[in-house]
Structure 1
Amino acid sequence: MKPWDKRDDMVVHEGEPFNAEAPAAALAAGVVTEVDGFYCRNHGTVPEEGPEEWRLVVDGLVRQELRLSLDALRGGFARCEVVATLQCAGNHRAGLMDVRDIPGEIRWGSGAISTARWTGVRLADVLERAGIEDGAAHIAFEAPDVAKDALPPQPYGASVPVAKARSGEVLLAWAMNGRPLPPVHGAPLRVVVPGWIGARSVKWVRRVTARAEPSTNYFQATAYRLPSGSGSMPLEAVAVNCGILRAGRGEAVGYAYAGDGRGVARVEVSADGGHTWTRAELDAPPGPWAWQHWRAAVPTTAGTELVARAWDCDGTPQPQCAAALWNPKGYANNAWARMRL
C-alpha cells in the first residue's frame, strides 16, 4: 500500500502535502468509491489531533456560541447519511495545460473525483441550535492545516452562503462508507458540501462561524475563483462533466456528474472524433448528489480517439473545446472527455 493506506495504483502527484487522484479501476469498480481509492487533495500537512482533544466551535453571528465534542455531536443531533460525489476544482486540468501551461499547478487528470457514503449530522441542525442572527449571510469553516501555498501561509478555510449551509444535504461528517474518517480524509470531522467543488468541503474542521461577508481566507478570497470582468467570482456548484474510465472489446465505460443536485440526463460517445455519436446507457444515481456511471458499445481499435459528452437535467451541455475554458489556475475544465486508445 502507498501512503495513508491507499492503493498501490493511486496516481500520486505530491507526497507532502499528499495529493493523489483515483485510478480509473477504483472509480469504475462501483458507484461508491472504496476509501483506499478515494482521491486526496491537501494543501498542508495532515493534522494530528485525536478526537479526545478536538472540539468544534460554532460562533460569530449566533445567539448562543457552541463548543461541541465529537460525542456531543453524535449524541445531541439526528444522525444523517448522504451519498455524495466530491470533485476537485482542478479535475481535468491536464486538458487545460495541453492548451497552455499553468506553472505551479498539479496536472490532475480525470481522477480527482470520487463518491462516498458520508455519515454525520446536518450542519443546518447545528446552526439551528446556535441560532443564526439576521445579519448572517455566510457560514465560514476553519481547519488547522497550514497551507504554505497561501499568501501569506495560513490555515485552510472556506465559506458557503447561509442558504447552502442550511440545506439538508450539507453534513458535518465523521464517517465515510461506514468507517471512521481516515486522517487524510479529515478525521475526526469534516464538512461535506454536496454538489459544490471539493474545496468547500473543509477537512479537520474545528470552527464554524456565521458572518455577514464571505470568509477572507486565501482559499475563498483569492484561490478557487474564476476571472470575471475586472474581478473574479468564487467557484461553487460543479458544472456538468464526464470522464472515460476504460475502453476495450467494443465498449467504453465512464462517469458523468452534474453538481448541485441537477443530475445527468444524457451521455453520448463518439469513436471518430465527434463526427458520429452513440447514446450511452446511463445508470441511475444512488442519490441526487452523486455521479452516474455509463457504458456505450463503440469501436475500440488501436489509434481510435474516443470522445464523450454529457447534458445535465436542465439541458445544459458540456462545451466542446478546452481552449475556451482556459484560466490561470486551471479550474473547472468540463470540456468533452477524450481518450486516445
Structure 2
Amino acid sequence: MRLLWQRAVRLQKLMPQTHLSPHTHARRLLATTTASARGSGQEEKENRKWSSPGSKAEMFLYSAFWAGGLGLGYFWLTQRYSSTPDEEVKPDDEAVARLWHITPRKDLPTYKAEQVEQHNAPDKGIWITYGLGVYDVTEFAENHPGGDKIMMAAGSAIDPFWAIYQQHNTLEVLELLESFRIGNLEGLTVPNAEDELGSPWAKEPERHALLKPASKRPFNAEPPIGLLAEKFYTPNEMFYVRNHLPVPVLVPEEYELEIDTSGGEQGGPLLTLTLAQIKALPRHTVTAAIMCGGNRRSEMTHIKAVKGLSWGAGAVGNAKWSGARLCDVLREQGVQPNETMHVIFEGADLDPTSHPYGASIPLSKALDPRGDVLLAYEMNDEPLTRDHGYPIRVIVPGVVGARNVKWLTRIMVADHESDSHWQQNDYKGFSPSTDWDTVDFSKAEAIQAMPVTSAICTPLPGERVKVDPQGGYITVRGYAWSGGGRKILRVDLTGDEGKTWHVAELEQEDSPDGRHYGWSLWTARLPITEEQQQRRKAGGSGELEIWAKAVDSAYNVQPEKFEHIWNLRGVLANAYHKVKVKLA
C-alpha cells in the first residue's frame, strides 16, 4: 500500500476487478439517457474542451444538466470519454474529477451517517465521507502521507480538512480516493459549489488581475515574467503570493506576538508584544529578495514529473522591508549565542486541527546583527498587505521563502527545529535518484540559504525579436540572486550554446559581501553572429536559444542541466535559464 500515493493513476491495479474506473461509472450512469442523443457514430471534435449539443434531444439534456448543477460534469464525462470503456483519464480532466464526490453512484449502496460513524478504528474498518461519497480507507490509512491525521476524520467527513488542504484536489489523489469508494451517503444534498457561506476561504483578499495563479485555494500566484525585471523594487501588488492555508483576518488593535525564550524550561522568560510596541522599537530597513523554494519548478518537470505547484520563474520578488530587528528583541530577553539552538516561528494561519503554519531557522542567524532578520510591518514603505503577512511577518534575508513566516503570532527559542510539516516533510532537496519509494525526509536537511540562480525576463519564449540594425545585437533582461547574502558577481549569456559568452550589466545595491540580500537586475546586448543573421535572411527559421547563468561572490555558478539536479519535490531549480526566440 505504500506505493498507492505515488502510483494513484494505476487505478485498475488498485481496485477489485468489479470496481470500474470513476469516469466509467459516471459514463454508465447516464448511458441510457444520452445514447440516443449522442448517436452511435458521433465523434469528438479535435482538442474540444467543452461539449457542444447538436440534436434537440441533446440540447434539452444539456440545459437540464446545467440546471441540475452536476449535469455539466456528467455531460462532459459522457462526451469526452466515448471511446474505450477503460481508457486512462487524461491529466487535463482534473476539473471533472472534482465532481466525483458530489456524484451519486447508482452502482453502489447507500449508507446512513450512523453506519459510517461505527467504522472509526482499524479493527472496525476506517470509513470516511466526502460530499456524497462513502469511502473505506482502512488499508490506506496506515500509509497516509499526512500521518495519522486521517484518523481525525475516521467515521466522519473529510470535507473540512480538504477545504483547507487543497493540494488533495489533484487528479491522481482524487482518482485514488474514488478507488476506495464503497457507497453513497444518505440524506445529504448536493452542495452548491458557489456557496461560500462558512467557508474558510470566504474572506480571502482581492488580488491583482495580472497575477497568474498556480492554485486558487490556497491562493498562490506569480506576476507575468515580462514585467518582473522592470523595477528594482517589485510593486507590492505584483509580488508573488505563496500561501499554504487560508489567509487569516487579524485586527491590529488585538494583535499580540508571544516570544518564548525559555528554551523549553518551565517558567522561563515570556514576552508579549503588541503591534504598537513592535513599531515603537528601533526601526531597521533591509532590501531582500524572497524566493519560493519551488521557483522554476515547471522547467524541472520537463525532465520528469515532480510533486508541487507548477511555478514559472516569477515566484520571486525584491522589496524594501522595515521593522524591528529580531536580534535586538532576543538579546533584550537575555538570549545568548548557541550553535545548537533554533528559533521557531508560528503564524496565525491554521489548519483544521488548529495547528499553525510553522518554520524555524538556526539561532545563529536570528542573533546575527548582519543577518538582518526582521519583525517586518512595512513593505516598500507601505504597511504589509494581508497576502504578505499583515500586520507582522518575519523576514529572514537570504533564506528560502518558506521560513519567512507570515501573520506571525509566536516565536520560540528551542533546542530543536520546528516540528511542522513544512519544516520536517517538505522544502528539502534530494538526489536525482531518490524517488517516492525510497525518500526519507528525516535524513535530509531543511533548506535555508538558497543557491545562486538567474532568469531571463525578456524576451519571452517564442517572441519575435528585432535585431538592432546598427549593432547587430538583441537586448536581453532578467534577474539574478543568491541566498546567504552572497553578491551576484556576473551574469553570462550565450546565443550559440556556450561557444561564446557575453557579460551583462548589473543593477544592484552597493552592499558588503555577506549582506547582499537584494536581487540584481541585469541587461545584456547579445550579439547575433553573422551565421545566424545569414540564416535568418535566407528564409530560415531564425530561431535562437538564449542561455543565462549567474555567478555569485563565492564563485558558485548555476548548473547547466536540470537532469543533474532533478529532485522529486522540484525545489532548488536553478539550472541555466534557457529561452527560445525567433529573430525578426
Range with greater deviation from structure 2 (225-234 or 178-187): 225-234
Cα shift readout 1:90-114 (whole Å, capped 9, x = no counterpart)? 00111111110114x1111100000
**TM-aligned CA deviation for residue 83 of structure 1:** 0.7
Instruction: Please give the secondary structure, in 2, of the residue aligned with 1:184.
Output: helix
1:258 aligned to which of 482, 487, 500: 482
Counterpart mapping for 1:207-246 below 5 A: 207-227=410-430, 231-246=443-458
Q: How far apart, in 1, do the equivalents of 2:558 and 2:449 lie?
A: 15
Paired AA for residue 188 in structure 1: P
Aligned counterpart, 1:55: 256
Counterpart mapping for 1:7-156 below 5 A: 7-61=208-262, 64-75=269-280, 77-103=281-307, 105-132=308-335, 137-147=341-351, 154-156=355-357
Cα shift readout 1:26-69 (whole Å, capped 9, x = no counterpart)? 32121100001100101010000111111000014265210110
**TM-aligned CA deviation for residue 138 of structure 1:** 0.4
Instruction: Please give the secondary structure, in 1, of the residue aligned with 2:300.
Output: helix
Q: How far apart, in 2, do the equivalents of 1:16 and 1:167 lie?
A: 36
1:83–1:286 CA contact under 8 A, matched in 2: no
Instruction: Please give the secondary structure, in 2, of the residue aligned with 1:330.
Output: coil
Q: How far apart, in 2, do the equivalents of 1:131 and 1:336 lie?
A: 45
Q: Which has the higher helix share?
A: 2
Asked if 1:296 is matched to 2:520, the reply is no
Counterpart mapping for 1:246-325 below 5 A: 246-247=458-459, 248-249=465-466, 250-285=474-509, 287=511, 288-298=516-526, 303-325=543-565
Q: How far apart, in 2, do the equivalents of 1:153 and 1:98 lie?
A: 37
Aligned counterpart, 2:38: none
Instruction: Please give the secondary structure, in 1, of the residue aligned with 2:444.
Output: strand
Unaligned runs of 5+ in 1: none
User: How many aligned residue pairs are there?
Assistant: 334
**TM-aligned CA deviation for residue 147 of structure 1:** 4.7
1:43–1:146 CA contact under 8 A, matched in 2: no
Range with greater deviation from structure 2 (50-59 or 222-231): 222-231
Q: How far apart, in 2, do the equivalents of 1:297 and 1:153 lie?
A: 53
**TM-aligned CA deviation for residue 165 of structure 1:** 0.7
Cα shift readout 1:288-317 (whole Å, capped 9, x = no counterpart)? 210101111125785211110111111111
2:289–2:317 CA contact under 8 A, matched in 1: yes
2:283–2:323 CA contact under 8 A, matched in 1: yes
Paired AA for residue 519 in structure 2: W
2:261–2:333 CA contact under 8 A, matched in 1: no
Cα shift readout 1:202-225 (whole Å, capped 9, x = no counterpart)? 000100000011111111111111
**TM-aligned CA deviation for residue 5 of structure 1:** 4.8
Instruction: Please give the secondary structure, in 1, of the residue aligned with 2:302.
Output: helix
Q: How far apart, in 2, do the equivalents of 1:134 and 1:326 lie?
A: 36
Aligned counterpart, 1:333: 573
Paired AA for residue 202 in structure 1: V
**TM-aligned CA deviation for residue 145 of structure 1:** 1.2
1:255–1:291 CA contact under 8 A, matched in 2: yes
RMSD of aligned C-alpha atoms? Answer: 2.0
Distance 1:40 1:147, change over 3 A: farther
Aligned counterpart, 1:183: 386
Q: How far apart, in 1, do the equivalents of 2:423 and 2:241 lie?
A: 19
1:43–1:147 CA contact under 8 A, matched in 2: no
Q: How far apart, in 2, do the equivalents of 1:26 and 1:146 lie?
A: 33
Q: How far apart, in 2, do the equivalents of 1:232 and 1:195 lie?
A: 20
**TM-aligned CA deviation for residue 226 of structure 1:** 1.7
Distance 1:134 1:256, change over 3 A: closer
Paired AA for residue 17 in structure 1: P
Q: How far apart, in 2, do the equivalents of 1:282 and 1:143 lie?
A: 36
**TM-aligned CA deviation for residue 4 of structure 1:** 4.2
**TM-aligned CA deviation for residue 184 of structure 1:** 0.6
Distance 1:308 1:133, change over 3 A: closer
1:310–1:317 CA contact under 8 A, matched in 2: yes
**TM-aligned CA deviation for residue 20 of structure 1:** 0.4
Paired AA for residue 297 in structure 1: R
**TM-aligned CA deviation for residue 276 of structure 1:** 2.2
Instruction: Please give the secondary structure, in 2, of the residue aligned with 1:73.
Output: helix
Aligned counterpart, 2:56: none
Paired AA for residue 565 in structure 2: L
Asked if 1:159 is matched to 2:159, the reply is no
1:51–1:70 CA contact under 8 A, matched in 2: yes
**TM-aligned CA deviation for residue 233 of structure 1:** 1.2
Q: How far apart, in 1, do the equivalents of 2:252 and 2:416 lie?
A: 30
Q: Say which structure, 1 or 2, has more relative contact order (CA 8 Å, 6+ apart).
A: 1
Bigger radius of gyration:
2
Cα shift readout 1:135-160 (whole Å, capped 9, x = no counterpart)? 77100000121357xxx883210000
Q: How far apart, in 2, do the equivalents of 1:111 and 1:154 lie?
A: 29
Instruction: Please give the secondary structure, in 1, of the residue aligned with 2:289.
Output: strand
Distance 1:39 1:226, change over 3 A: same
Range with greater deviation from structure 2 (214-223 or 131-140): 131-140
User: Percent sequence identity over matched residues?
Assistant: 35
